[in-house]
A and B are shown apart, each in its own frame.
Chain A
């Protein structure tokens, strides 16, 4: 008997979403990287994370790389684009946090506008940890940057109405729907946002991220299930591309923050942070992420290499 390779052909397809002017996410009709089954769509995209304020709290392993440029987001973004060539820049408005500097939304919008005018790649706008403030922040930034098709990270259960209305409906940008590691919650939020009138191809999802070793299996399983529902059952409410802010999680766990003096046998701190970021990124890409957000240039280089080898 000769070998017969099994294939999995699906009726569903992930939507193709245009970010900025020419970055395309999604479009695949098979499981992640299953080119032997069919069309794998667009290559997963890589973004680099920057902050609106100097990232004092970043562990030394990654702060040292950017400390010369991190005092100004435009300088920082340009540095990243010129040296590391990311597909997009993710600016996180940490300075907007009411628990921190509590910068006004007007001030943040100015930063976003200045950034948009000075960079050649699309932006992903991420908020702070306060969902109420984010609703106002996103509204203001979307207003300042209308019809850019930038991604706003994220609309959550408690603020999706305001975020979707401003970002998706009034000002023509892309809404990222963020849920907490649960297929049903992801589905429900997508439905609510589309019911407001946001077109599914103006949306992406963040189904919840974690670093490897820290409840990561729940993140992977949720993503697996979302992808199978989208492809196998052709569930249109789950066919948006997924974006995972890997760096938000991977740089705060012990492996990345403990210094070499504290645990000498673990070796250089920078290497550990990079390794946690790479492993987490590959972990979510393998489960269906269409875009990942990273911090360290070395992670960007390796993940790009990984994606190229898996797709070409």
Chain B
């Protein structure tokens, strides 16, 4: 729980020596309570007091890390239950489940899927971040060889080691410690040994118990050992139960301010259904409602496209709209004869459009006027994307000096702007493009062919 100024004051040395830059210890305490300065500024505070203060001023949900180097990820650290209250900060990461009693073909298929899914959407690289390994054979060698095989074939994935045996866990950690694996499976029986192993290797430790009550007691025990790099699992393996766990773990931390549940949580969607589309439904739910790691049986492009898109949307900061700088942009090796398109300064729209232009392999120019940072129709409806703003951009970015063409391709959704723009820009012709950018490659190829013919 947060401390007030007076409570903090009692923890200070009360020397009034001013070394912290404040006239008195009390003034320093007051400022500290508001978060306006740092405890480190007082050189005379006891370690005990520092620890107490750190505890009191820590955010309600801990930020933890897993992975290593280029594939290090941050989880947790959320401060709100709804994104409009501030923003969600750390997106959930996806894991694919492997088991050491799985048929070889199945393993190969999953490896292949992991290596196939790799694309960029609005400047973000999309791929499966984690391979989860469940030890079901209880055969150490078999388990190790599975982990080796998959991590060697999929260099980007971070392993998640799932076993309740500290001995098997130790062997597994031994072969992939450099990848910063997640160690999952600390329970009532094994938690001391598992915590030692996690501590030694600085690993994120997955804690599992049957039900929230048992998990709560177990986490308290774990916290008493001083290890706080935790990932929670309250044991439900059906959709409704897991939703209850996820919402209530998060609310316990953020609403009740109880840090026992102030850690990220994992959803084992792979155990909730055998149907891939049902897993997709469950995973979509848990992106919005509070999972930090989502374990699926498998993932192909049909699942990846909506899941990564949804995740990207939900974890966009509502206070910082994604805007792209106005100007004239070149796609490919566009020259003065290349087609010229106009779109808006909403980053989502720009990246979709430029992606499609790239896919068309027709080098082109894209003009971005000031459209208020909105999508095509939003900007049009708000009066920000119109003949005036487009004509202004043509002048401001000296388009007439950069290209010879006097033809402008506009988004199909704002076909109504055609004659207005032609009035605003004497000597220019406006061509109405397609409604959806996905049809741009065909459109541009035809456009280019027609131009060549004339």
Partners in one complex: yes
Instruction: Determine which of B216, B220, B348 lies in contact with A215 in the assembled complex, contact meaning CB atoms within 8 Å.
Output: B348
B385 to chain A, nearest CB (A): 15
Contact of A224 with B by CB under 8 A:
yes
Main secondary structure of the interface of B (DSSP, over half): helix
Complex interface bits, B295-308 against A, C-beta within 8 A gives 1, otherwise 0: 00000111101110
Interface size range of chain B in the complex = 35 or more
Q: Are A279 and B310 in contact, with the CB atoms below 8 A? A: yes
In Å, the complex CA distance between A228 and B436 comes to 34
Q: Are B247 and A267 in contact, with the CB atoms below 8 A? A: no
A274 to chain B: which residues have CB within 8 Å?
A: 277, 302
A44 to chain B, nearest CB (A): 13
Complex interface bits, B230-262 against A, C-beta within 8 A gives 1, otherwise 0: 000000001110011001100110011000100
Indicate the member of A4, A257, A258, A283 with the most B CB atoms within 10 Å.
Answer: A283
Given A5-B212, A212-B310, A215-B348, the answer on whether A266 and B301 have CB atoms closer than 8 Å is yes
Contact of B312 with A by CB under 8 A:
yes
29 contacts across the A-B interface (CB closer than 8 A): A3-B216, A3-B252, A4-B256, A8-B255, A36-B244, A212-B310, A213-B310, A216-B313, A217-B318, A220-B288, A220-B314, A224-B82, A224-B83, A224-B84, A225-B82, A254-B437, A268-B302, A274-B302, A275-B277, A279-B310, A280-B306, A282-B281, A283-B284, A286-B289, A303-B281, A305-B281, A306-B239, A306-B285, A312-B240
Contact of B280 with A by CB under 8 A:
yes
A-facing residues in B201-234 (Cβ within 8 Å): 212-213, 216-217, 220
Contact of B65 with A by CB under 8 A:
no
A101 to chain B: which residues have CB within 8 Å?
A: none
In Å, the complex CA distance between A106 and B280 comes to 43
Contact of B74 with A by CB under 8 A:
no
In Å, the complex CA distance between A312 and B95 comes to 28
A-facing residues in B261-299 (Cβ within 8 Å): 275, 277-278, 280-282, 284-285, 288-289
A248 to chain B: which residues have CB within 8 Å?
A: none
In Å, the complex CA distance between A310 and B281 comes to 11
Given A3-B213, A213-B121, A310-B243, the answer on whether A272 and B289 have CB atoms closer than 8 Å is no
Chain B residue with Cβ nearest A266 = B301
A306 to chain B: which residues have CB within 8 Å?
A: 239, 278, 281-282, 285
Contact of A255 with B by CB under 8 A:
yes
Q: Are A279 and B284 in contact, with the CB atoms below 8 A? A: yes
A180 to chain B: which residues have CB within 8 Å?
A: 378, 381
Contact of B138 with A by CB under 8 A:
no
Given A2-B216, A280-B306, the answer on whether A257 and B438 have CB atoms closer than 8 Å is yes
Q: Are A217 and B212 in contact, with the CB atoms below 8 A? A: no
Q: Are B288 and A255 in contact, with the CB atoms below 8 A? A: no
Q: Are B238 and A309 in contact, with the CB atoms below 8 A? A: yes
Instruction: Determine which of A221, A309, A310, A312 lies in contact with B318 in the assembled complex, contact meaning CB atoms within 8 Å.
Output: A221
Chain A residue with Cβ nearest B307 = A279
B-facing residues in A207-229 (Cβ within 8 Å): 212-217, 220-221, 224-225, 228
Known contacts A221-B318, A305-B278, A310-B285; 13 further A-B pairs (Cβ under 8 A): A3-B260, A5-B248, A5-B252, A212-B309, A213-B306, A213-B309, A225-B82, A262-B441, A275-B303, A276-B305, A278-B306, A286-B284, A287-B288
Q: Are B438 and A278 in contact, with the CB atoms below 8 A? A: no
A70 to chain B, nearest CB (A): 22
Instruction: Determine which of B217, B244, B285 lies in contact with A286 in the assembled complex, contact meaning CB atoms within 8 Å.
Output: B285
A213 to chain B, nearest CB (A): 3
B121 to chain A: which residues have CB within 8 Å?
A: 213
Contact of B4 with A by CB under 8 A:
no
In Å, the complex CA distance between A286 and B318 comes to 19
In Å, the complex CA distance between A1 and B275 comes to 40
Instruction: Determine which of A1, A213, A252 lies in contact with B220 in the assembled complex, contact meaning CB atoms within 8 Å.
Output: A1
A3 to chain B, nearest CB (A): 4
Q: Are B281 and A302 in contact, with the CB atoms below 8 A? A: yes
B439 to chain A: which residues have CB within 8 Å?
A: 257
Contact of B57 with A by CB under 8 A:
no
Q: Are A217 and B240 in contact, with the CB atoms below 8 A? A: no
Q: Are B239 and A254 in contact, with the CB atoms below 8 A? A: no
Contact of B116 with A by CB under 8 A:
yes
B436 to chain A: which residues have CB within 8 Å?
A: 252-254, 257
Q: Would you list the 8 A-B pairs with minimal beta carbon distance, nearest first?
A: A213-B309, A279-B306, A254-B438, A3-B216, A271-B302, A282-B284, A217-B313, A212-B310
B238 to chain A: which residues have CB within 8 Å?
A: 309
Contact of A10 with B by CB under 8 A:
no
Chain B residue with Cβ nearest A5 = B248
Q: Are B277 and A302 in contact, with the CB atoms below 8 A? A: yes
Contact of B375 with A by CB under 8 A:
yes
Given A217-B313, A224-B82, A228-B82, the answer on whether A275 and B240 have CB atoms closer than 8 Å is no
